[in-house]
């Protein structure tokens, strides 16, 4: 689990390898990640956009960006927590992800970036 706080927004990430849904013989490794976003600031904020950087250990990398997360643009009052789960396919048994959320304070419409800390995607066999 990794955690990072940017301007009072705490992002925590937990990952899991989905062996039963992966097909290593075809270069398909499925990882899920659970994100918790906690508003520890004094402002109500809305998550507007996300940007991901995905790195595979074969040297491949990709970038994904778009509105919200899992079809949502959640609004978090001070003290609120929003959690969601998503997934990533890699061609190898090891990689990593990192990124940013674009948030907006509701009070004055100020937009700011929140860091999603780099997290590893590694199969349990690779760790042995």
CB 43, CB 79: distance < 8 Å: no
100: region left, alpha or beta (phi > 0 left; psi from -120 to 50 alpha): beta
Q: Mean pLDDT across the chain, nearest whole number?
A: 96
Q: What is the mean pLDDT of residues 55-61?
A: 95
Q: What mean pLDDT is predicted for residues 28-40?
A: 98
Report whether 57 contacts 95 (CB < 8 A): yes
For the whole model, what pTM was predicted?
Answer: 0.94
Return the HEC string of 77-123.
CCCCEEEEEEEEEECCCEEEEEEEEEEEECCCCCEEEEEEEEEEEEC
Local confidence band at 128 (pLDDT 50, 70, 90 cut-offs): low
* Domains identified in the chain and CATH numbers: 2-120 (2.60.40.1470)
Asked whether the predicted pLDDT for residue 125 surpasses 90, the reply is no
- Quick: pLDDT tens for 67-121: 999 999 999 999 999 999 999 999 999 999 999 999 999 999 999 999 999 999 9
**C-alpha span between 101 and 46 (Å, rounded):** 10
Residue 3 has pLDDT above 80, yes or no: yes
Among 48, 66, 67, 52, smallest CA distance to 105 is for: 48
**Taking a C-beta distance cutoff of 8 angstroms, is the pair 51, 65 a contact?**
yes
Pull the structure tokens for residue 99: 């990124």
């Amino acid at each position: 689990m990794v955690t990072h706080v940017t301007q009072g927004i705490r992002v925590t990430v937990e990952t899991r390898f989905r062996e039963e849904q992966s097909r290593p013989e075809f270069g398909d490794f499925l990882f899920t990640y659970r994100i918790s976003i906690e508003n520890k600031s004094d402002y109500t904020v809305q998550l507007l956009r996300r940007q991901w950087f995905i790195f595979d250990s074969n040297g491949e990398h990709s970038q994904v960006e778009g509105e919200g997360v899992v079809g949502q643009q959640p609004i978090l009052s001070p003290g609120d927590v929003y959690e969601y789960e998503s997934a990533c396919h890699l061609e190898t048994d090891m990689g990593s992800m990192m990124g940013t959320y674009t948030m907006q304070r509701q009070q004055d419409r100020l937009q700011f970036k929140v860091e999603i800390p780099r997290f590893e995607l590694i199969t349990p066999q690779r760790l042995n």
